[in-house]
Each structure stands twice: as C-alpha cells, then as structure tokens.
C-alpha cells in the first residue's frame, strides 16, 4: 500500500489536548480502533550505519525518509514494515505486512527475509537497508486517539504518553523499560489530509497555544544519541 498525503504537526499541552479531543470527537468519526483512552502503537525505527536519516531530519533536508516496524499489540504475529518519505510538505508512506519471525530477523540485521515478499515496498526496503547497513536504533511507544473524515481523506491523531528506549529493541516484550521523551505532560496533534484542509479545522487549530512544527517522534526519542554526539 502506498499513501500520498500532506501532514501538519502541533505539540500541545494538557488543556489543548482535552479541548481538541472533545471537538473532534463530536464532529469527526472516531477511528474503529479507538478504545476508551485510544489505542497503543509501538514502532521500532532503523537507521543507516552513518545515521543518515537522523541527520537528514536534523539538517532540515527537504527530501528524507524513515524506515520502521510497527505493531499494535506485543502478542501479534504480523508486523507492518513502513517506509515514510517526506518531500517538502508532502509525505508518502509505503507499507507492507511481514511476519513476526521476519521482523525479528530484521532486528538482527538479516535483510534477506524481505526477498520472499513480492511487492515494491519490501524490495525497496531491502535495497535501502542493505546498501546503508541499517540497524535498529530506537523503540518508541505511545497511545493514540484518532478521528477521520471521508472528505479529503482527513485523519486527525492525538498521540500521548510518548516513551522510548534506545538500547532494548525487543518490540514484542512487555518488559522493555520505556522512558518519557519529555519531562512534562505533552501530546502531539497530527492532521493528515489530501488536497485542501477544511477551513473549520484550520480555525480550530489557530486557537491552540502552539504552531505547526516539523516534529519527529523518531528524532525526539534519540536523546542519548544526541547527547553522545554533542
């Protein structure tokens, strides 16, 4: 699956979180996966031996990418392999599903397991990871509330309780010790859409105590690496 989208990101505090959650809950359709407090996402990010993707983001390069594995339950037997490409304000996400066993092989830097999948995403990931000698670099865990609108394929997400681990990459374990990526309550509001954004949504966003920023949970979670580089 390949999805081309535009994306806006807003870091928000606790009051704005509950404010926009109530707004979107009343005017948009809740994601079917939403539980009372949302649903859990765990992503394992990979980077090249030279950390090319990290530096591309930090240097503000207009064309960049990220590769990750994603699950919604540690007991799952299927894993999403995703390549996110950013081109200016537009993003492109390529997704395929692989087995838990093959995900573990990738964590152990055995890229050859991707050759068994007959799709462009797996082939592209194999080439990127082989040439760049990719390896897992950070595990990120958070809770998401999501809302959708069919017009312009609008999807609004609220991510909170964002935590990470830069040393333990066992994404299927409940025993991984995760640390908050910030020292205070915060959440990340993301708005993804095709074409143009409805004016009433834009107006709701202008009332927040924040601005659109090019934030990355991946880069924000690599604090140990960042401190080491400094």
- Give the confidence band of 51 by pLDDT, cuts at 50, 70, 90: very high
Model confidence pLDDT, tens digit, residues 156-197: 999 999 999 999 999 999 999 999 987 555 789 988 888 766
Contact, 124 vs 94, CB < 8 A?
yes
Query: Helix %, strand %, coil % for the chain, to 5?
Result: 30, 40, 30
Short-list 84, 92, 101, CA closest to 47: 84
Identify the pLDDT of residue 119: 95
- How many angstroms separate the CA atoms of 217 and 207, rounded? 24
Report the pLDDT averaged over residues 32-58.
93
- How many angstroms separate the CA atoms of 165 and 41, rounded? 14
Q: Can you read off the two tokens belonging to residue 178?
A: 């995760």
Identify the pLDDT of residue 143: 94
Short-list 4, 1, 15, CA closest to 189: 15
Identify the pLDDT of residue 150: 78
Identify the pLDDT of residue 78: 96
Report the pLDDT averaged over residues 15-31.
87
Report the pLDDT averaged over residues 84-112.
92
Report the pLDDT averaged over residues 98-110.
97
Under DSSP, the state recorded for 191 is: E
Residue 98 contacts by C-beta under 8 Å, 6 or more apart in sequence? Answer: 78, 79, 80, 81, 106, 113, 114, 117, 122
Query: Could you write out the DSSP letters of every residue in 74-86?
Result: TT-SEEEEEEEEE
Q: Beta partners for 86?
A: 64, 91
- Give the confidence band of 130 by pLDDT, cuts at 50, 70, 90: very high
Point out the least confidently predicted range of 101-115, 148-162, 200-214: 200-214
Q: Beta partners for 80?
A: 70, 97
């Amino acid at each position: 699956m390949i999805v081309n989208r535009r994306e806006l990101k807003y870091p928000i505090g606790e009051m704005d979180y509950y404010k926009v959650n109530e707004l979107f809950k009343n005017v948009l359709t809740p994601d079917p996966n939403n539980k009372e407090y949302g649903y859990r996402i765990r992503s394992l990010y990979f980077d090249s031996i030279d950390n090319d993707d990290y530096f591309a983001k930090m240097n503000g390069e207009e064309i960049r990418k990220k590769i990750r594995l994603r699950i919604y339950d540690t007991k799952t037997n299927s894993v999403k392999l995703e390549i996110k490409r950013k081109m200016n304000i537009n993003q492109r996400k390529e997704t395929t599903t692989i087995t838990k066993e093959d995900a573990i092989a990738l964590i152990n830097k055995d890229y050859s397991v991707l050759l068994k999948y007959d799709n462009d995403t797996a082939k592209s990931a194999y080439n990127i990871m082989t040439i760049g000698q990719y390896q897992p670099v950070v595990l990120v865990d958070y809770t998401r509330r999501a809302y959708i609108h069919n017009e312009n394929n609008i999807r609004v997400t609220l991510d909170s309780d964002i935590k990470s681990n830069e040393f333990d990459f066992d994404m299927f374990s409940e025993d991984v010790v995760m640390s908050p990526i910030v020292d205070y309550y915060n959440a990340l509001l993301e708005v993804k859409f095709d074409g143009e954004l409805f004016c009433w949504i834009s107006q709701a966003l202008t009332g927040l105590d924040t601005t659109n920023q090019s934030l990355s949970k991946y880069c924000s979670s690599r604090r140990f690496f960042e401190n080491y580089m400094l």
